[in-house]
């Protein structure tokens, strides 16, 4: 009730402010900047203990704002986590999952024809109701076909790409990834937007920075509230940085990319201050999933003390760096132990705009305003999904695993390792191990690395299980999965087709001839 009261009080304040400022025509709600990194780990920031201390601007942002050490993504892979952020809904609800295999990750490469459904209501579309102008800079990753274009889902401007900067390709069987300004393709990665794989040199972060600064200046001059979604991807392999930053980090090329991002965030915050709009702008920094240890150490980051990384539902794949900054509103130098989710950014942003979330669907995100403005803590679960499968849940300090695995023995023997140097017997398995009858439960306060499961016979285990079981049951009984958008077409098993489907070339189509969504297996 206290959380609801706090949010209601904040919305009332927005209404009163609007009434007071309406005659002057001034923007009423705060501007919103969401800074989403790509494959950046919990342990990549100095404020989280990274020993090189090469993120002075992000560390200063935390010192001037609020740090969230218990902040989670909604999926350990890029596309589903971004869909969750912009819809406030778990990927199992918004369709960003696959049913082609149990507990399989999937995303939206060039081969896939699926994307964000028209039935989903995205954050920029809803913010229009409060007069916001919205821009996405960087990686979209919610579908590359025309009907999935960001400008068809609420954004007013876009500079970036529908996919990651993989390549280069031969431009015959497969073209290089395009880069867009709004509706116009302005070039391709490795062509008009070069990335030198040998040296790691690319100017993309600088281009994305200038896009952000230009948008902020234009909206400030027009006195319009704005939403900027800055989704840069320099820390996703193959990592890159511009020439002034190459070779400057103690951490190698990945560190060079982090340093350039840190410098860019510093310039964005300084711009807000120089324009006199820092106190009317809410900024939140986080990442889409954990560091990709499969690319480490040269092309991947650090997940600090946590187990495994990207692609897994262990803490290293799901727990993210998170910093909130709003001078004059969020008390400086605070640490919130609120369990937070990337989906909360959807609901929090709507609350900031004085808007209610849609009531015709389940919304998983909560407003973090009570935690940020009053220091209140809300008891809530964090659900860990991998594909169509609920793998784990955290409630309070306790995390229960219902399924454990990293990746298959076949992939592992080929050198694909999601947990290099981390082998926890019975936990980091290469076969899917079911624990639904007797979950593995860890106390994340004492054991953040998930190395010491509680004894099944202990009172602590039984008490934790009693709390967790009804929460999971209620969630599963009420869950209505969305239509899967990311079903997998595995070329290695082309003689097999899911029930009700038939082969068609390299992809599969259901009987009604609507293309099944195809992706590469993970």
Binding residues for Ca(2+): 38-39, 78, 288-289
Nearest-CA neighbor of 196 among 173, 172, 160, 165? Answer: 165
Pairing verdict, β 71-72 and 340-341: parallel
- Which residues pair with residue 400 across a beta bridge? 393, 441
Helix (H), strand (E) at residue 470: helix 459-478
What is the C-alpha separation between 440 and 185, in angstroms, rounded? 49
Per-residue exposure over 490-505, b if at least 16 CB sit within 10 Å of its own CB, e if not: eeeeeeebeeebeeee
Residue 78 annotated as catalytic: yes
Q: Compute the Cα dihedral for 186, 188, 190, 191 and give only its sign.
A: negative
Spot the catalytic one: 78, 164, 308, 489: 78
What backbone torsions phi and psi does residue 521 show, to the nearest 5 degrees? -70, 150
Please report, for residues 64, 80, 113, 455, the alpha-carbon distance to residue 142 in angstroms, rounded to integers and kept in the order given.
33, 8, 11, 42
Q: Compute the Cα dihedral for 93, 99, 104, 105 and give only its sign.
A: negative
What is the C-alpha separation between 197 and 178, in angstroms, rounded? 18
Spot the catalytic one: 141, 144, 435, 443: 141
Q: Other CB atoms closer than 10 Å to residue 99's CB: what's the count?
A: 17
Residue 489 annotated as catalytic: no
Annotated binding residues: 38-39, 78, 288-289
Which residues are marked as active site?
Answer: 78, 141
């Amino acid at each position: 009730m206290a959380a609801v009261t706090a949010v209601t009080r904040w919305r009332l304040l927005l209404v009163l402010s609007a009434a007071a400022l309406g005659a002057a025509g001034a923007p009423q709600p705060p501007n919103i900047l969401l800074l989403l990194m790509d494959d950046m780990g919990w342990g990549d920031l100095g404020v989280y203990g990274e020993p090189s201390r090469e993120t002075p601007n992000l560390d200063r942002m935390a010192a001037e704002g609020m740090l969230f050490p218990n902040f989670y993504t909604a999926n350990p892979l890029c596309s589903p986590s971004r869909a969750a952020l912009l819809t406030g809904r778990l990927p199992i609800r918004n369709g960003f999952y696959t049913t082609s295999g149990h507990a399989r990750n999937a995303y939206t490469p060039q081969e896939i024809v699926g994307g964000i459904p028209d039935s989903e209501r995205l954050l920029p579309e809803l913010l229009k109701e409060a007069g916001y102008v919205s821009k996405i800079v960087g990686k979209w990753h919610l579908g590359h076909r025309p009907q999935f274009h960001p400008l068809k889902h609420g954004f007013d401007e876009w500079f970036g790409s529908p996919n990651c900067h993989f390549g280069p390709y031969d431009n015959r069987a497969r073209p290089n990834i395009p880069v867009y300004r709004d509706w116009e393709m302005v070039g391709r990665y490795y062509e008009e937007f070069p990335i030198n794989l040998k040296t790691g040199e690319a100017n993309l972060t600088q281009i994305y920075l200038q896009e952000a600064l230009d948008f902020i200046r234009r909206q400030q001059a027009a006195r319009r509230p704005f939403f900027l979604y800055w989704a840069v991807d320099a820390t996703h392999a193959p990592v890159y940085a511009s020439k002034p930053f190459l070779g400057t980090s103690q951490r190698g090329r990945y560190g060079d990319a982090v340093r350039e991002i840190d410098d860019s965030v510093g310039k964005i915050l300084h711009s807000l201050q120089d324009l006199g709009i820092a106190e009317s702008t809410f900024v939140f920094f986080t990442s889409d999933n954990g560091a990709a240890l499969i690319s480490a150490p040269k092309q991947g980051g650090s997940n600090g003390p946590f187990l495994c990384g990207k692609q897994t539902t262990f803490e290293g794949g799901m727990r993210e760096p998170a910093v909130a900054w709003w001078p004059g509103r969020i008390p400086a130098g605070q640490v919130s132990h609120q369990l937070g989710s990337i989906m909360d950014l959807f609901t929090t942003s709507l609350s900031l705009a004085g808007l209610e979330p849609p009531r015709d669907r389940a919304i998983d995100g909560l407003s973090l305003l009570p935690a940020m403005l009053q220091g209140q803590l809300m008891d809530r679960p964090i659900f860990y999904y991998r594909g169509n499968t609920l793998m784990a849940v955290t409630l309070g300090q306790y995390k229960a695993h219902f399924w454990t695995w990293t990746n298959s023995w076949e992939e592992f023997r080929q050198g694909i390792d999601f947990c290099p140097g981390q082998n926890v017997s019975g936990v980091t398995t290469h076969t899917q191990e079911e624990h639904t009858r007797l979950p593995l439960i860890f106390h994340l306060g004492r054991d953040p690395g998930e190395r010491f499961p509680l004894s099944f016979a202990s009172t602590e285990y039984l008490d934790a299980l009693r709390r967790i079981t009804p929460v999971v049951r209620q969630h599963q009984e009420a869950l209505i999965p969305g239509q899967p958008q990311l079903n997998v077409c595995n070329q290695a098993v082309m003689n097999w087709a899911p029930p009700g489907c038939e082969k068609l070339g390299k992809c599969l189509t259901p009987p009604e001839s609507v293309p099944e969504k195809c992706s590469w297996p993970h």
